A and B are shown apart, each in its own frame.
Chain A
Amino acid sequence: MPDHHDFVAEAQHVAPPSFAPLVAVLGLLRTFDWGTDFWFDYRDGTAMFGEQSIQYHRPLYVGEEVEISAVISDVYEKTGQNTFDVVQLAFTIKGDWDGEITMTGKQSYILFK
């Protein structure tokens, strides 16, 4: 097991945690296709965030590659002022420095069609 401090010295610094939601969303947007998976098209619909929860297991290091896997945990229709679809995903993000999990979490998207 490499020592975190050695790696930090090599990499100069860790990525700030404010970058974490960007990494999560970047990964999630590449795990599914709005059109083929959800019949969603920006021409007549709008997608927005609902909720996001993340557990942070270790820092993200500058220069490392991450592997993101996600599953769709639930899809349902909800009616408030408008009727919309809710898509819930659960994700795991691993870093290639040690192969360990850096973040796990859940994210929901709201689709207005």
Chain B
Amino acid sequence: MSIAPNKPLLEDLAVGMALPTAKFGPMDRFDYIPIALILRDTNPLHLDRVYAQERGLPDTVQQGPLNQAYLYQFFTNWLHQPWDLVSTDIRFSANVFPDDHLYCGGEIEALESGDEHDVVHCRVWQKNEDGTPILTGKAAGRLPKHR
């Protein structure tokens, strides 16, 4: 499978091309504290290991939006500008725990030509080091007509 170049134009791409992958980690439990404060989210699952273990989980659970933030960073780094992002449609399949590494990737599903700009539609995913899918879904981004 060929790898799509970074910051591409429509003519550089083809359906089935893989996006350049990205790796993030290890995840850090201390990063969950500012996220809980930003979200004003009092769910003890993110900060209290005993609470998580009483519910059958190995450790505290990283907040879903933080998992997404890594996936968005991966996808928007590939686009020309971060806010070339058009849409995301993400399913949360599994939890992320402290010390996990996250691997992000994707594949081009469709290419749409427009008058002012073009749009690339991709299948995207995030997995942990065991290959378990964490996030799966779709993301679309605008592509400029010229460099």
Chain B: residues with Cβ within 8 Å of the partner, total of 32
User: Is the Cβ of A25 less than 8 Å from the Cβ of B39?
Assistant: yes
Say yes or no for B112: interface residue by CB 8 A criterion.
no
Segment of B6-14, B79-87, B124-132 in the binding face = B79-87
Segment of A42-50, A72-80, A93-101 in the binding face = A42-50
| A16-61 with Cβ < 8 A to chain B | 16-22, 24-26, 29-30, 42, 46-56, 58-59
Which of B40, B55, B64 touches A26 (beta carbons < 8 Å)? Answer: B40
- In whole angstroms, how far apart are the Cα atoms of A54 and B95 in the complex? 21
Q: Closest approach, in angstroms, between the C-beta of A3 and any C-beta of chain B?
A: 15
Which of A14, A17, A30, A42 touches B72 (beta carbons < 8 Å)? Answer: A17
Taking CB as reference atom, which chain B residue is nearest A27? B39
Say yes or no for B89: interface residue by CB 8 A criterion.
yes
Taking CB as reference atom, which chain A residue is nearest B61? A48
User: Is the Cβ of A17 less than 8 Å from the Cβ of B91?
Assistant: no
Describe A's contact surface by its main secondary structure. mixed
Chain A: residues with Cβ within 8 Å of the partner, total of 27
User: Is the Cβ of A22 less than 8 Å from the Cβ of B44?
Assistant: no
Q: A26-B39, A29-B39 are in contact. Are A20 and B72 (CB under 8 A)?
A: yes
Q: Closest approach, in angstroms, between the C-beta of A95 and any C-beta of chain B?
A: 13
Q: Which residues of A contact B (CB under 8 A)?
A: 14, 16-22, 24-26, 29-30, 42, 46-56, 58-59
Q: In the A-B complex, list the 9 residue pairs whose CB atoms are closest, starting with the nearest.
A: A18-B69, A49-B64, A53-B89, A21-B65, A59-B83, A49-B92, A18-B72, A21-B68, A22-B65
A–B pairs, 28, beta carbons within 8 Å: A14-B82, A14-B83, A16-B72, A16-B82, A17-B72, A17-B82, A17-B83, A18-B73, A19-B69, A20-B85, A21-B68, A22-B39, A22-B65, A24-B65, A25-B41, A26-B39, A42-B43, A46-B55, A47-B43, A48-B64, A48-B95, A50-B91, A51-B91, A51-B137, A52-B88, A52-B90, A53-B89, A53-B90
